[in-house]
Structure 1
Amino acid sequence: MKKHTLEVQSFVDSQRFSPYQWIILILCFLVVAADGFDTAAVGFVAPSLIGEWGITRAALGPVMSAALVGLGIGALAAGPAADRIGRKVVLVLSVFFFGAWSLASSQSGSIESLTAWRFLTGLGLGAAMPNAVTLMSEYAPARIRAIVVNAMFCGFSVGLTIGGLCAAWLIPEFGWQSVLITGGIGPLVLAVLLVALLPESAQFMVVRKWPAEKIARVLRRISNDPRLAHGAALNFIAADTHVATEKKSSLALIVSKPYSFGTAMLWLAYFTGLMIYYLLTNWLPTLFKDAGFTAQGAALTTSLFPLGGILGNLCLGWVMGRTNPRRANACAYVLSAALVLTIGCGVSDRFWLAVLIFLTGVAVTSAVTSMSALAAAFYPTQGRATGVAWMLGIGRMGAVAGALSGGVMMSLGLPFGAVFTLLAVPAFVAAFALFAFGRRNDATKEISLSEDVIVPME
């Protein structure tokens, strides 16, 4: 019996976004939301720790940085592991251990033990994020991949908001430990849902030569195409397997000649983008208070920054699906630079300052978030998880640099406007990196988030 050939990603690209793919999106959204919850929770328990343990604010520095360091290491390690043993396996394990370590951190009795548990929690989170991105990108049709991945990242802002609300209610009633317990139970329940409902990547199964019937069983949940009725009669292929050999490791692949320049530019753009994002996230309240805002006014104005990110993620994802995605992302960084320069020039009216902060959140957050969609589209199946994970891991170093550089600026007594003016530098660097990446990539091979692909059947 002659076997028909079906290229998996092209088949997914040709289908409508099915209810099953919505389930995958919701599950990955919840993984990202867990990251946002954790980010908010630690900040809100900090005042309680200072009062209960009698420690200084400076003593909490290692606790805050431990999770970021863990995030970076977890991301760097998780990518190669996922390209070897599977996206789902690594994602489930990372979410499970993130929850378990968060529960353990709630029992900490000293700053040293809390720091250690926060580092381990960061490892789990760092491993989860890139695999959620990779799995979602491989199940999203190319024409809407950018907006789907960006919508998934809206979970971070949602988790951030829920974390703050939960902390405001739980801490007065049950103590700071209750926030970390909640942040642990949620991921453990989510890990069970992932085991039950989340599929392995179809492209990964093809590359690792899983049985054809298993691949067809997953694809039948996306489409009732009659050609999938007899999976054993199909020869599944992944179109991008020709760019790599099984002997080459996934890490060696992403730094090999066809990908080395693009990898370097993605790392540079994401590093500088997270510098801006985390400097603003960590220091906006302080900047506003120094500028004469009340504590309440500073908090409310700061909240506009992540709120703008939700709108920005959806808008830029939509634009990237309809135009050159790299140029669209680069333009978002240019817009970010223009906005921070405008704020730096001085805006006396607080209403317009609030509007500019909201727009800055739209531009900066969407520019940073959309980098994951670019990376997922750039790398082939064999190195996709590693490529995304290492970009996220390198970017976490930019997050640390942003938080630290903000502290240096505060200690130097730089005025409000000067801090925002300086932020234009990394924004322009990120834009330059993406423009250079786009020109080099367009000159060699076309890798587009929005191209239409025909399903090869013979």
Structure 2
Amino acid sequence: MKTSTQPANVQTLLNEHPFSPFQWMVFALCFFIVLLDGFDTAAIGFIAPSLIKEWGASKAALAPVLSAALFGLAAGALSAGPLADRLGRKRVLVGSVLVFGVACLASSFAADLTQLSILRFLTGVGLGAAMPNAVTLMSEYCPDQRRATLTNAMFCGFPLGAAFGGFLAAWMIPTFGWRSVLLLGGITPLVLVVLLVLLLPESVRYMVAKSQPVERIRKVLARIAGASVAGVQRFVLTESAPVSNAKSGLGVVLSPAYRLGSIMLWLAYFMGLVIFYALINWMPVLFKEAGIDPKTATLISALFPLGGVGAIFFGWLMDRFNANRIIAVGYALTAVAIWSIGQAVGQVGTLVVLVFGAGAIMNTSQSSLPALAAAFYPTNGRATGVAWMLGIGRFGGIAGSFLVAELASRHMAFADIFTVVAIPSLIAAVALLVKQWAHPEDGSAKLAHHAAAH
């Protein structure tokens, strides 16, 4: 075997070789992690009426159960990013999926609301830690010219899981009871943990950044680049993002080179989740109070999370043009669509089209932000950067749930509530334009690079 004294650039190898079955396996495992996150997020809302019936709980008493997972999600994301930048993506991913599987399984045996709230918080910690690391690991196995498309496609597991969770819960609860949904939500991740331990590799970019043994790096890259890496004795990493000398992942994220961009990403993701949770939690109630039949109101509302698969198209655009501007336009269109829902009260056919359309644009924009964050940060701060955006954004989910409750308590009109809920979309759009101003991204260079790759 011929030994090469020339160092091999990891990203160049990923860019120059076809996307391998090994990389598709990484994609599939990460996709299923995000799918389970979506399933769990939606299923708890469908369990709520059964809890009221079985335990005689008031709607106010249910609030801690519904919000406990959101606080857990924030805590999990904020802590797991820095951990993954220190200990590795795989180790934190396996641990977090194990935590949410065990906690969700235990939730199915909860005897009262207090126990369920604590277990929902722990489930949230695991879920919150898993998602940003799945995004980070996936992005670090992608060629530059397809990174946003593939990362967004993987992130589509979330809205698909949410829709699937809703439809499955609607079938399972009347047949097997509400505990069956949590039982399924707990057993499935535990099966996935076994597959992750056996099949999931550590991020090859992370291994190079941490100067891990060359044999280990070569063994992984051989499954992508074949014999071309057989004699390579040294692997190197070039960063498209400015390299920070900060010692920790959080130090990178808050360093002068990244600080303003980080804050704008946090703001955009926060505002997106204000809208998502405001509408997902309150649309059925608002439609019902506007005189729409309860079953119809539920079915129309269920269309909202379905549209997230449009993120694949946005990913395709982001790989070719200016990603900040593309997502900003998405949020601006979301504001128009949500405002329009408020103007269509009583028109069921129009509402169906508007709710699905608003969901498609909003979820597509929101699902594109993790890929944007993954591309923004260097390897030594990427997991923290993605995780902190997702973690701080979760507080937007909590704020969104309370926002509509407050507006409704003030007896605000249907149209006015949707006008207020549309405003966060405009704030998110402005935040991304500020990020573009502070950290200019050259869309024409990206297009030229993509053309050269083909």
Q: Given that residues 271 and 398 in structure 1 are in contact (C-alpha distance below 8 angstroms), is that contact kept between their aligned partners in structure 2?
A: yes
* 1:83-98 superposed matches below 5 A: 83-98=85-100
**1:316-331 paired onto structure 2 within 5 Å:** 316-331=314-329
Equivalent residues in 2 for 1:9-408, closer than 5 Å: 9-224=11-226, 226-230=227-231, 233-240=232-239, 243-244=242-243, 248-310=247-309, 312-346=310-344, 349-408=347-406
List alignment gaps of at least 5 residues for structure 1.
Answer: none
Partners of 1:325 and 1:448 within 8 A in 2: no
Shift of 1:302: 1.2
Give the AA of the match of 1:400. I
Q: 2:249 and 2:449 mapped to 1: Cα distance? A: 25
1:385–1:98 CA distance, 2 compared to 1 (3 A): same
Structural mapping, 1:400-439, within 5 Å:
400-439=398-437
Deviation of the 1:282 alpha carbon? 1.0
Task: Summarize deviations over 1:316-369 as a string: whole Å, max 9, x none.
Answer: 122212211111011101111122233334466432222111111111101111
User: Cα gap change, 1:367/1:432 in structure 2, threshold over 3 Å: closer, same or farther?
Assistant: same
Deviations 1:270-291 (A, max 9, x none): 1111111111111111121122
Query: C-alpha separation between the residues in 1 aligned to 2:447 and 2:162?
Result: 28
Residues 11-33 of structure 1 deviation map (CA, whole Å, 9 limit, x = unaligned)? 21222222111111111111011
Provide, for residues 50-81 of structure 1, a one-character-per-residue CA deviation record: whole Å limited to 9, x for no partner. Answer: 11112112111001111000000100000000
Give the letter aligned to residue 248 of structure 1: K
Deviations 1:245-276 (A, max 9, x none): 66621101111110011101111111111111
Q: Deviations over 1:199-226 (max 9, x none)?
A: 10000000111111211111121222x3
TM-score by length of 1: 0.93
Give the SS at the match of 1:222. helix
1:146 and 1:320 in contact (8 A); partners too: yes
Distance 1:305-1:95 versus aligned 2 partners, 3 A rule: same
Q: What percentage of aligned pairs have identical amino acids?
A: 50
Deviations 1:79-117 (A, max 9, x none): 000000100100000001110011111111111111111
Unaligned stretches of 5+ in structure 2?
A: none
Number of matched pairs: 451
User: 1:445: Cα distance to partner?
Assistant: 12
How far did 1:407 drift? 1.0
How far off its partner does 1:7 sit? 1.6
Query: For 1:174 and 1:67, how far apart are their aligned partners in 2?
Result: 23
Deviations 1:404-448 (A, max 9, x none): 101111212222211121123211111111011112211899996
Q: Is the 8 A contact 2:291 2:346 kept in 1?
A: no
Deviation at 1:9, TM superposition (A): 1.9
Q: Name the aligned partner's letter for residue 422 of structure 2.
A: A
User: SS of 1:4's equivalent?
Assistant: coil
One-letter identity of the residue aligned with 1:289: K
SS of the residue corresponding to residue 257 of structure 2 reads: coil
Q: CA RMSD in A?
A: 2.3
Change (3 A) 1:186 1:249: same
Aligned amino acid, residue 119 of structure 2: W
CA distance in 2, matches of 1:16, 1:332: 31
